[in-house]
């Protein structure tokens, strides 16, 4: 009930304002479980995709969105529950992964759609990064549910970092044909199988999105970018300090 209300309240205006184009809607089954595996360009991905689907799709979200105290915290929790997101405690990497897998299996066992971002985090630069082999592949093999590759197009351009007001433009969504991995059922603890399943899905997402593929994890790239920015800032600070010293020590006529 709450999901339907929020879908009308948010999905309707979102579609009206941004007019997202969609290809491949026929690949979403009318009923039964399925996994929607998407690239991740923007926070808004989890809103645009459900907005264009007739069926409910459940994503996972960090638990902090549901546990923040105060009026704002309660409103935030109600909002994320209303748009079909499940809380997952990400305080421990392994615990978070197991919680996400358990949540995904429960959603699929109810015959619903489960949405997941195999990259594990938003792309830092618009490129497609290596998929993490744990969550997506293990949920697919444990349930036998088909995996439907999804490509979000240009959602990162709507509200780039630092921009307060979103840009009114048409993002796109391409939905690929379902992938069947039932041939690997019972092998969800084989790391080579998990890697193969994940790579196959990422390849299909790459074809749909047209993104440049980077064979490293997005989390690792984010760390590199953060460290590089920190090093650059420290170098600038050191250069300014050296220049100030030189000015102070410069002989006067």
C-alpha distances in angstroms, 126 versus 39, 180, 190?
10, 28, 31
Q: Are 51 and 7 in contact (CB under 8 A)?
A: yes
What SS3 state is found at 92? coil
Beta bridge partners of 87: 61
Residues in the chain: 253
Question: pLDDT 10s per residue in the chain (253 long)?
Answer: 556 666 677 778 888 899 999 999 999 999 999 999 999 999 889 889 999 999 999 987 766 666 667 766 666 556 666 666 776 665 555 555 787 888 899 999 999 999 999 998 899 999 999 999 878 999 999 999 999 999 999 999 998 777 778 889 999 999 999 999 999 988 988 999 999 999 999 999 999 999 999 999 998 888 888 887 788 788 888 778 777 777 777 776 5
Return the pLDDT at 250.
72
Q: Give residue-wise pLDDT tens across range 99-131.
A: 788 889 999 999 999 999 999 889 999 999 999
The pLDDT of residue 44: 86
Q: Within the chain, how many helices (H) and strands (E) appear?
A: 9, 9
In whole angstroms, how large is the CA radius of gyration of the chain? 21
As a whole number of angstroms, the distance between CA 172 and CA 151 comes to: 8
Nearest to 206 by CA among 138, 134, 135, 127: 127
In this predicted structure, what is the pLDDT of residue 22?
97
DSSP designation for 22 = E
Count CB neighbours of 145 within 10 A: 27
Asked if 29 and 85 count as a contact pair (C-beta separation under 8 A), the reply is: no
d(CA 184, CA 198): 12
Given CA atoms 25, 26, 31, 36 in this order, what sign does their dihedral have?
negative
Instruction: Report residue 100 as tokens.
Output: 């996400």
pLDDT of residue 113: 96
In whole angstroms, give the CA distance from residue 191 to residue 141. Answer: 12
Query: How much is the pLDDT for 94?
Result: 55
Cα–Cα nearest to 137, from 209, 189, 93:
189
214 three-state secondary structure: strand
């Amino acid at each position: 009930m709450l999901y339907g209300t929020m879908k009308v309240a948010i999905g309707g205006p979102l579609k009206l304002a941004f007019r997202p184009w969609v290809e491949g809607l026929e690949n979403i089954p009318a009923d039964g479980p399925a996994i929607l595996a998407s690239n991740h360009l923007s926070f808004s991905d989890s809103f645009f995709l459900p907005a264009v689907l007739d069926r409910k799709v459940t994503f996972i979200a960090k638990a902090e969105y549901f546990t923040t105290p105060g009026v704002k915290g309660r409103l935030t929790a109600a909002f994320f529950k209303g748009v079909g997101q499940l809380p997952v405690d990400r305080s421990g990497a392994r615990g978070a992964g197991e919680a996400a897998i358990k949540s995904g299996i429960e959603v699929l066992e109810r015959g619903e759609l489960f949405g997941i971002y195999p990259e594990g985090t938003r792309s830092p630069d618009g490129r497609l990064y290596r998929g993490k082999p744990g969550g997506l592949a293990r949920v697919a093999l444990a349930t036998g549910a088909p995996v439907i590759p999804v490509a979000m197009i240009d959602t990162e351009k709507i509200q780039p970092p630092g921009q307060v007001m979103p840009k009114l433009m048409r993002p796109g969504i391409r939905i690929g044909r379902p992938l069947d991995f039932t041939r690997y059922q019972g092998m969800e603890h084989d790391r080579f199988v998990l890697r193969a399943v994940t790579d196959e899905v990422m390849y299909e997402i790459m074809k749909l999105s047209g993104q440049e593929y980077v064979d490293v994890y997005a989390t690792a790239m984010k760390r590199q970018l953060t460290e590089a920015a920190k090093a650059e800032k420290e170098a600038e600070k050191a250069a300014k300090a050296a220049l100030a010293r030189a000015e102070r020590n410069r002989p006067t006529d």
